[in-house]
Structure 1
Amino acid sequence: MKLSSKKNEFGTAALYCRLSRDDNMDTESNSIQNQKKILQKAAKEKGYTDTLFFVDDGITGTTMNRPGFQKMIQAIENGYISAVFVKDLSRLGRNYIEVGRLTEEFFPAHDVRLVAVSDGVDSDEGENEFTPFKNIMNEYYARDISKKRRIVNKMKGNSGVPLSPPPYGYIKNPDDPRFWVIDPEAAEIVRRIYQMALDGYGLAETAAALEKDGVFNPTYYWRSKGTSRGGSKSTVEPTKWGHTTIKKILTLQEYCGDVINFKSYSKSYKVKKRIENPEENRAIFLNVHEAIIDRPTWEKVQSMKKGTRRRRPTVTQAPSVFSGYLKCPECGGNLNFHFNQGNHDIKFFSCQNHNSGLRKCSKTHYIRLEFLERVVLYEVNRLASFANEYEDDFIKTMMGRSAKVTENERARKQRELDGLLARDKELDGLFERLYEDNVSQKISDARFAKMSQRYEQEQGENAKRIKALRLELKKSEGKRMDIDTFLETVRRYTNATEITQRMVAELIDHIDVYHAEKQDGVTTQHITIYYNCIGAFSVPDRRKIPAAEITMGTRKGVAVSYSPERIAV
């Protein structure tokens, strides 16, 4: 639309309309259609026949970065506008500093008349002493609405209702839009991505495979289904998948059927930037909707992704499958992967705290990769043989006293957590009733503030303990695995002939590597493997269990023998 300059007696009037969720308590009078009628009539009565509408629908007044508003400001700066009409001052905004700058500096400097119809403000009739107070009250209203909305979101979030839109693979439940159901077409792609991760494919390889097969990325998939999603609009090809998209899909716990609320927060209702919430501050609800990925598979993928963001060797460009799994029993640090500068075929691990230059660890804990692979393969075969030949003894070992003690402790913590969560839910109910009484004016704002502060204080104290318990349970839960599942996993590697990344991720939690010691002319290195589910486990010597001596010659002509660290069972 072409704008005309100030040639009329009155010039061109800008009729500005705005509506957002902040105005949902009075949607009829504040509707865009009603605002247009009021402003058109008021402009005509003031003698303005040349008018232009500028509209922002669905945008909060706490920000001044609104498309319609900014177009109006640009038109004023270009000299096309002589008057601005709004229904009330809150339409300009709910930030009293910015609105005050407009009314007291910007409009007068550009010789623009301001008319706020409902507030009785007309700058041509002189200054209105109450205008600054109206701006302050408009911002207070936005602050109050924000506070009440946070309370409502807190109640919803703590009751297990998802606060975010469904991720790729899910859609809103047609029968109850608050919750999610599986989208079969997208869910199949999610399962494919996880399977590729288990098979050792990297992010780039997975993205390339999806693109080759013509699979729509999530943004274009939602568009093809007519689903509107917020955020930036992708301009890449419909089948172009980014590394970050694959990585996000591989880390979303929601695919296990869980709901995770309060992942991010904002510091103020004026600041729209979201800040990632620490994990202990989030509300996690297990098995709320149907899972796309079973939990053991999801946990395996997370284990496989650990330690991948490390500097790769400059020559081999390929980290070992053991990277991130080897620990130093002396200092607790990780063992880093290296290769010999003179002979790149010699690959080894050594303690990071010894090699750092600070010498926090007294020994190198050096171990050759080839030697380690032979040891682990040997022990995995022995473990699989024991599980197959002596299944009852194997299960009995896993269900031993230590596991029972751990389970009892976990159950005690779970009971305490359940009690605190029940009280938290009860307090949410009190908040809700208190909020309703305040809205219906059964109690005053002062009374509401006092009572809500008391409830918030109790919830704050409970929240600290809830966070601690959830962290403790998460750590213990991450190491627990169904006995049948672990037994089945062990059997899968019966007679294995090579070490794979998937094998390490499924079976091993970590490995303690001791420094090789020489006794009676024999150099021996102790290694302790800590398995998932059962921890450190020394396979008993039985007739049907294979036994062999593992020895490797070093480049200095010294033979190193392997010895398992004996564990009482």
Structure 2
Amino acid sequence: MKGNAGIPLSQPPYGYIKNPDDSRFWVIDPEAADVVRRIYDMALEGYGLAEIANALGADGIVNSTYYWRSKGINRSGSKSTLEPTKWGHTTIKKILTLQEYCGDVINFKSYSKSYKIKQRIENPEENRAIFLNVHEPIIDRATWEKVQTMQKGTRRKKPTVTQEPSVFSGRLKCPECGGNLNFHFNQKNHDIKYFSCQNHNSGLRKCSATHYIRLDFLEQVVLYEVNRLAAFANEYEHDFVKTMLGRSAKVAENDRARKQRELNALLTRDKELDMLFERLYEDNVAGKIDDARFARMSKRYEQEQGEISAKIKALRLELKKAEGQQMDMEDYLQMVRRYTHVTKITQRMVSELIDHIDVYHAEKQDGVTNQRIVIHYNCISAFEVPDRKKIPEADIIMETRKGVAVSYAPAEVAV
């Protein structure tokens, strides 16, 4: 009854303490909450778990176990054997995944088969009870979602010479085949770093062109477009908000409709498999299909149905989370303004502003080589900043290999 009423069933996580006025609920612990915010800030800056843990230890910040002990808070579970200022990777990872920092309560995360068995079993997300905005958040929801997206990203092997990945890795897309653009460096000149389509370079030639783009050229384009977006938000706030609200609602609706279509198709296929399995069983009983063939076919159907079931659960959960979510325009406006007159590309800037970038293959027209690029921003997708006074304009041209000059050509975006 308590769990279904939105009362937390677990102890408050690091960053919260029990409310002195009502011990059933939580309030922010200012000292620990500052550490949590620092961990999220570092994650947005692109720092890994080990780097965050080492930075906290170097500054003499005690880990959560010793912090609770110093405050006289008794917590059940295993006791840390680490040094007071030694942070474990798992602790950092858990802090970066807890939805409770958004102000939510998530009950029934685990269950036991019997009161006689102490072992807890993880409960599927769709069976948990989630209550939004119960207590004061430490991390705003938009920041938490960005960190979750970053944490789910595939770990990529670092270049063997540069030893540092690009902040754009995983965000450049080929508009022709839909594949990613992989990060490389020139074998003869390691200062030249570039991206090219993975499906063209794989040897299978699934894509007809390389979609080659120099990293330094791409950085100039992104800085130019981000500065234009920030200038538009600063100088024409009313128009910016009006345009963004419409685009945000449209993007959210398109995403919801796409997921719903995918879910409907999976549900239809799931029913078809039930019918196929039923017919297969009847044919086996009637002697039309021998037992060996029945076993092979039923195994294949069961495997496919299991994969479909997992996808259906995931889609239903995503649609449930999307219900009632609406972009906070004031937060988005402040975030864009933060990058006014930006002069350097950072991991945090890319994570906060950009979902992905479409890179077209450079084409030569009338003796000039142009390359079209479309930036898809978070929440609002592709957006073409209008040409107005006080919004910077510039021609971006770069001399590349073999003396070829490539100029930036913004792709036209439908309004």
The TM-score with structure 2 as length reference comes to 0.76
1:371, CA displacement in angstroms? 0.9
Residue of structure 1 in register with 2:148 after alignment: 302
Residue of structure 2 in register with 1:159 after alignment: 5
Q: Does 1:244 align with 2:78?
A: no
Distance in 2 (alpha carbons) for counterparts of 1:512 and 1:262: 42
Distance in 2 (alpha carbons) for counterparts of 1:258 and 1:184: 18
Q: Equivalences for 1:177-192 in 2 at 5 Å?
A: 177-192=23-38
Distance in 2 (alpha carbons) for counterparts of 1:239 and 1:402: 43
Contact 2:169–2:183 (8 Å) recurs in 1: yes
SS at structure 1 position matched to 2:402: coil
1:485, CA displacement in angstroms? 1.9
Residue of structure 1 in register with 2:383 after alignment: 537
Distance in 1 (alpha carbons) for counterparts of 2:124 and 2:200: 32
Residue of structure 1 in register with 2:368 after alignment: 522
Q: Equivalences for 1:273-292 in 2 at 5 Å?
A: 274=120, 276-292=122-138
Residue of structure 1 in register with 2:340 after alignment: 494
Residue of structure 2 in register with 1:511 after alignment: 357
Aligned residues: 363
SS at structure 2 position matched to 1:227: coil
Q: Deviations over 1:306-333 (max 9, x none)?
A: 5362211122221111122222222323
Distance in 1 (alpha carbons) for counterparts of 2:65 and 2:412: 54
Contact 1:334–1:351 (8 Å) recurs in 2: yes
Instruction: Give the superposed CA RMSD.
Output: 3.3
**Structure 1 pair 367–289 and aligned structure 2 pair: CA distance change class (3 A):** same
Distance in 2 (alpha carbons) for counterparts of 1:476 and 1:374: 38
1:334, CA displacement in angstroms? 2.3
Distance in 1 (alpha carbons) for counterparts of 2:163 and 2:243: 41
Residue of structure 1 in register with 2:398 after alignment: 552
Aligned amino acid, residue 562 of structure 1: Y
**Structure 1 pair 333–283 and aligned structure 2 pair: CA distance change class (3 A):** farther
The TM-score with structure 1 as length reference comes to 0.57
Aligned amino acid, residue 495 of structure 1: H
* Larger displacement relative to structure 2 (394-403 or 557-566): 394-403
Distance in 2 (alpha carbons) for counterparts of 1:293 and 1:491: 20
1:258, CA displacement in angstroms? 0.9
Which of 1 and 2 has greater Rg?
A: 1
SS at structure 2 position matched to 1:167: coil
Q: Equivalences for 1:78-477 in 2 at 5 Å?
A: 155-265=1-111, 274=120, 276-305=122-151, 307=153, 309-400=155-246, 403=249, 470-475=317-322
1:186, CA displacement in angstroms? 1.9
1:469, CA displacement in angstroms? 5.1
1:523, CA displacement in angstroms? 2.4
Match 1:482 to one of 328, 337, 345? 328
1:369, CA displacement in angstroms? 0.8
**Structure 1 pair 530–545 and aligned structure 2 pair: CA distance change class (3 A):** same
SS at structure 1 position matched to 2:134: coil
Q: Equivalences for 1:30-109 in 2 at 5 Å?
A: none
Distance in 2 (alpha carbons) for counterparts of 1:334 and 1:408: 22
Q: Deviations over 1:376-428 (max 9, x none)?
A: 01111111222223333222222337736957998xx9xxxxxxxxxxxxxxx
Distance in 2 (alpha carbons) for counterparts of 1:216 and 1:406: 42
SS at structure 1 position matched to 2:240: helix
Q: Deviations over 1:52-89 (max 9, x none)?
A: xxxxxxxxxxxxxxxxxxxxxxxxxxxxxxxxxxxxxx
Contact 1:280–1:471 (8 Å) recurs in 2: no
Contact 1:351–1:364 (8 Å) recurs in 2: yes
**Structure 1 pair 346–473 and aligned structure 2 pair: CA distance change class (3 A):** farther
User: What percent of counterpart residues are identical?
Assistant: 78
Aligned amino acid, residue 374 of structure 2: T
Larger RCO: 1 or 2 (CA < 8 Å, sep 6+) = 2
Aligned amino acid, residue 245 of structure 2: M
Distance in 1 (alpha carbons) for counterparts of 2:22 and 2:367: 74
Unaligned segments of structure 2, at least 5 residues: 260-310
1:348, CA displacement in angstroms? 1.4
Q: Deviations over 1:186-240 (max 9, x none)?
A: 2222123223334454433332232233222112222333333333322121111
Distance in 2 (alpha carbons) for counterparts of 1:276 and 1:328: 39
